[in-house]
Amino acid sequence: MLVFWKQKLVLLAVPKTGTTALEAALLAHADAAIVNPPSMKHVPYRRYRNQLARFFEDKGARPMEVMAVIRDPVDWLGSWYRYRGRAAVAGTPVSTAGLSFDTFVEGWLTDPPPEYARVGRQSRFVSDGAGGTGVDHLFAYERFDRAIAFLEDRLGVALHLDRQNVSPAATLDLSPATRARLQHEAAADFALWTKVSARQ
């Protein structure tokens, strides 16, 4: 999470959406940053608003605007699956080594999910808790150029991003039954991504 106090902007780091690269490029321009531990780096909207906003917002002043990036739900889950298949976590409860993508997605849809599929949901990350989206500026990962253009304009900087935190390659096949179940049970995630993508 990065805070740009003068520009009244907070960049939330939705996991697996390229925000690590944004953080690396923008860290020197931020007034405050939380890059570790991961549970705080990836602080969701409601936790920011309920616990952290008071540290950065002057009483009676215009509140900070919040920005985030979200990704196609299947690709987002695929990135998590590939990331947790890396050698560094082999043999641990979060490892997806030896599991198919189908199995990973089925695990993610289980309540509660097994440890290897406990990655949250993008729709909940940006939720205001009242059925809406709390984030003011929401961008689709697939149109990352729009997010970069917004930041360059808002912050008055030129961004040069390097690829960061890249997941290893893997086969991402889903059976028709699992895909249909995913689209039904994660309807909020698909609807949010479709809405954001349609306006960019």
Contacts of 59 (CB under 8 A, 6+ apart): none
Find the domain containing 139 and state its range: 2-198
**Long-range contact list for 176-182, CB < 8 A, 24+ apart?**
178/102, 178/105, 178/106, 179/74, 181/106, 181/109, 182/73, 182/74, 182/77, 182/105, 182/109
- What b/e string do you get for 68-80 counting C-beta neighbours within 10 Å, with b at 16 or more? bbbbbbbebbbbb
Per-residue pLDDT of the chain (200 residues; tens, 9 = 90+): 999 999 999 999 999 999 888 999 999 999 999 988 877 889 999 999 999 998 888 776 788 999 999 999 999 999 999 999 999 999 999 999 999 999 999 999 999 999 999 999 999 999 998 888 999 999 999 999 999 999 999 999 999 887 666 676 778 999 999 999 999 999 999 999 999 998 86
Domain count for the chain, please give it. 1
| Sequence-ordered list of residues with C-beta below 8 angstroms from that of 7, at least 6 positions apart, any chain | 154, 155
pLDDT at 56: 87
pLDDT value of residue 69: 97
CATH (domain of 107): 3.40.50.300
pTM of the shown model: 0.91
User: Residue 196: its pLDDT value, please?
Assistant: 95
- Check residue 165 and give its pLDDT: 63
